[in-house]
Amino acid sequence: MGNDIVDLALAKRESNWKRKGYLNKLFTELEQNYIRTDKNQDIMVWILWSLKESTYKAYQRIQINRGFYPQKIKIKSLEIKDAIAISTLELFGMDFFGKTTITTDWIHSIVTTKFSHLNQITEVTPQCIKKDKNSLPYCALTNQSISISHHGAYQKIIQFKL
């Protein structure tokens, strides 16, 4: 699994997604269409980005493949209802499932390899964070994999429920 949080106020300060060429480098045609047709484009950019970032992290758990390849992480579907976005993604021929929580201050995505796993994820505040030889975080007390995301004023750490 992987997660990613976006501090919307910080993202506004640090990233100008309207800059020429920006969306083209990051997003596929379908994804750019999601952005173009959404009434809240600012939010949609960061929903899609946090999903890609989370998928990248989730994939590193399966196989380490470092690189900056945002276009290879493809969002195949996305539905938003009651400030929750449910999505399907694909990377290197594998399917991933995303759940994004949208608030006025932050956006938080969780991505797993099975749809049913989305409900088995919980937020934690462990005091036991260590990193393995691939720099992937885990809790040294339980040996459980965790995913950490920190951006601006917000941090979220997730793991599978015990």
Partner 1 sequence: MTKEAIIEKLKPIVQPFVKNEEAFKNLTDTTDFITDLNINSANLVDIVLDIEEAFHIEIDNESMEKMLNVENTVAIIQKKLAAQ
- Contact between 49 and partner 1 per CB under 8 A: yes
Q: Site residues for partner 1, window 8-37 (CB under 8 A)? A: 11, 14-16, 19-22, 25-26
Phi-psi region of 152 (alpha: psi -120 to 50; beta: other; left: phi over 0): left
Which tokens in the block code for residue 36?
A: 């173009």
Q: Pinpoint the alpha helices (H) of 41-146.
A: 41-62
Cβ(146)–Cβ(158) below 8 Å: yes
- When the beta carbons of 81 and 151 are compared against partner 1, the nearer one is 151
- When the beta carbons of 27 and 138 are compared against partner 1, the nearer one is 27
Site string for partner 1, 132-151 (x = CB under 8 A): ---x---------------x
- When the beta carbons of 37 and 135 are compared against partner 1, the nearer one is 135
Largest CA distance in the chain: 47
Which residue in the set 29, 67, 82, 125 belongs to the binding site for partner 1 (CB under 8 A)?
67
Residue type (1 letter), 27: F
